[in-house]
Structure 1
Amino acid sequence: MDISVVIPLYNEAESLRELHAWIKRVMENHAFSYEVLFIDDGSNDDSWNIILDLARNNPEVRGFKFAKNYGKTAALQTGFNETQGQVVITMDADLQDSPDEIPELYKMITEDGYDLVSGWKQKRYDPITKTLPTKLFNATTRMIHDIPLHDMNCGLKAYNSKVTKNIIIYGEMHRYIPVVAKWSGFGKIGEKVVHHQARKYGHTKFGLERFFNGFLDLLSITFVNKFGKSPMHFFGLFGILSFLGGLAIATYLIGEKLYSIYNHQPYRNVTDNPLFFLGLTAALIGSQMFLAGFLGELLVRNSVKKDEYTIAEKT
């Protein structure tokens, strides 16, 4: 099979038939063999009934419905697990992403050899409250992870199937899939300017909290990618430095007292010096961080990573 199209959705009943017809027209015009996977993220409108109807009348359509709203990352991961195509295309269900971009994205993966190609909505039809934070996130991510993409969170992306079968995303990591792919060894990442359309139906399902979640996810993915397999390298390093700092303070205080005693000079108890409590705190924190790193290493070596989401129905 040439292409798998993965479409996560939440309450997008108005656009599904039109989106499917558009995808089908593009695929048939270019003679692609394909499948369309609709991942219903716990919609409470008529989305699932429409998906069922599309699946009954179109053998290329497959549908998955979550028992509740897990989020876009969960929907994408489930879609990735189920795809059968050589190239995986992801797009949003709100008709803001154009299926007409699929043939060129497919070519960039199969002929140009990219592992992942991300769309770049150079001209966007979104309010500034959405575009400005997005630009800040993209700039920060480019700086930290050295991935030259202008629109990291664009829903329209193309993947070599080896990428989607070998990465695991969780939480709200869908914003940083290129980062996950790069850290998994898929470093040939490209970008294509894509047409962005104004929303035709409904309204955006994301609120302001996504900006805070996005920042926290950036910190999380940076830490996990660098130290997820070796937590002792992080906790152990700072733990040892903190412990040695506390030990140095204790050594200084004891040495000062012994010097005063030896020279018959007045002295005060070690515990009367504020530095004593600073050193004690540093030593305790150092010990705890070292222990956290040790426990983290045990967990990493004995855990089996498994991400499952409850699918209530399946076509």
Structure 2
Amino acid sequence: MDVSVVLPVYNEEENIPILYRELCEALAPTKWAYEIIFVDDGSSDRSWEILSGIQYQDDRVVAIRFRRNFGQTAALSAGFDHASGDVVVTLDADLQNDPKDIPLLVAKLQEGYDLVNGWRYERKDPFLSRKLPSRIANWIISTTTHVKLHDYGCTLKVFRKEIAANLRLYGEMHRFIPAIASGLGAAITEVRVNHRERKFGKSKYGISRTIRVVLDLITVKFFLSYSTRPIQIFGLLGVVSGGLGFLMALWMTIQRQFYGMSLANRPLLLLAILLMFTGLQFVSLGLIAELQSRTYHESQNKPIYVIRKTLQTENHQRQ
């Protein structure tokens, strides 16, 4: 299998037949051996009935149905688990991503990249409710993760199978796939893609998801930078907090011993004690996190590195 196309579906009964036809038209000229994986994320309309009919007629189609709505991240993860292609493509099922862009992204991937992200350069969405929050989010994510992209929210992506196989996604982390892949050492770039207006159905996104995105961003940043050395972040906070508390306490001790100043009714004394105890708690939390990290990696025999390729001679293998 050359290419696996993964599509999360949630209440897209009007879009599915058109999308399937456009996918076949876009992929047919490439001569690739491909499969199309639809993941029905607990749709309440006729989406599954339509997908079942398409799968019955085309054995290149894989249809997966969730028992309930688990979210886009879970749908993509299920698609990755069932994908058998050397290249994995993801796109939305709402017809706003153009399947004609898939060969363009795959061609860019073959230049030596591991992940190619779509960039909706001329986005057909409302400015205040969609474009502006997206631009702010893209800036925050790029600044925090140090993976500079214009459009983290674009589902249209192409990446190698080994990258997809090593992605562990939770919460709303599908939008952070490029940042997570960078932690695996992936070479990442982006390509401008066509973006179309939604014709049928309604958007599943809203400003209410912003808080969840921010919380997931904190998680991603932690795993990218400190998952194997948590003591460095918690220990640093503990040292800073405890150090400030100690200096405050030392200064007040000098004032009391040499200048006869009373310590009664001084909020600064309580703050110093609080900071010292907080610092001790942060250091303790860091040590516990270190134990958890070691248990996580050693119990699963999970390495703290990712190998891209190994070269060795046949004689060395026999030894």
Tell me how far apart the structure 2 counterparts of residues 267 and 105 of structure 1 sit (CA, whole Å).
Answer: 72
Per-residue deviation, 1:92? 0.4
1:15 maps to a residue whose letter is: N
Which residue in the other structure is 2:33 paired with?
33
What are the Cα deviations for residues 263-310 of structure 1, in whole angstroms up to 9, with x where unaligned?
xxx553x4554332111111111111111111111222223799xxxx
Structure 2 residues not aligned, in runs of 5+: 301-319
1:300 aligns with 2:293: yes
Moved more, 153-162 or 270-279: 270-279
Which residue in the other structure is 2:170 paired with?
170
Per-residue deviation, 1:11? 0.5
Aligned-residue sequence identity (percent) comes to 36
Which residue in the other structure is 1:181 paired with?
181
Distance 1:212 1:273, change over 3 A: closer
Tell me how far apart the structure 1 counterparts of residues 70 and 281 of structure 2 sit (CA, whole Å).
Answer: 34
- Partner of 1:14: helix, strand, or coil? coil
Which residue in the other structure is 1:222 paired with?
221
Which residue in the other structure is 2:279 paired with?
286
Q: How many residues align?
A: 298
1:65 maps to a residue whose letter is: R
Tell me how far apart the structure 2 counterparts of residues 10 and 120 of structure 1 sit (CA, whole Å).
Answer: 23
What are the Cα deviations for residues 230-272 of structure 1, in whole angstroms up to 9, with x where unaligned?
2211111111221222223333333443335xxxxx553x455
Tell me how far apart the structure 2 counterparts of residues 248 and 31 of structure 1 sit (CA, whole Å).
Answer: 71
Tell me how far apart the structure 2 counterparts of residues 272 and 136 of structure 1 sit (CA, whole Å).
Answer: 46
- Partner of 1:176: helix, strand, or coil? helix
Moved more, 296-305 or 94-103: 296-305
Please list, as runs of the form range in 1=range in 2, the aligned pairs for 1:35-114 lying within 5 A after superposition: 35-110=35-110, 112-114=111-113
1:203 maps to a residue whose letter is: K
Tell me how far apart the structure 1 counterparts of residues 156 and 208 of structure 2 sit (CA, whole Å).
Answer: 22
Which residue in the other structure is 1:313 paired with?
none
CA contact (8 A) 1:183 1:225 kept: yes
CA RMSD of aligned residues (A): 1.9
Per-residue deviation, 1:84? 0.6
Which residue in the other structure is 1:157 paired with?
157
Tell me how far apart the structure 2 counterparts of residues 291 and 67 of structure 1 sit (CA, whole Å).
Answer: 42
Per-residue deviation, 1:228? 2.2
- Partner of 1:303: helix, strand, or coil? helix
1:22 aligns with 2:2: no
Structure 1 residues not aligned, in runs of 5+: 261-265, 307-315
CA contact (8 A) 1:87 1:109 kept: no
1:231 aligns with 2:224: no
Moved more, 210-219 or 166-175: 210-219
Tell me how far apart the structure 2 counterparts of residues 222 and 54 of structure 1 sit (CA, whole Å).
Answer: 41
CA contact (8 A) 1:271 1:277 kept: no
Tell me how far apart the structure 2 counterparts of residues 25 and 104 of structure 1 sit (CA, whole Å).
Answer: 14
Per-residue deviation, 1:133? 0.9
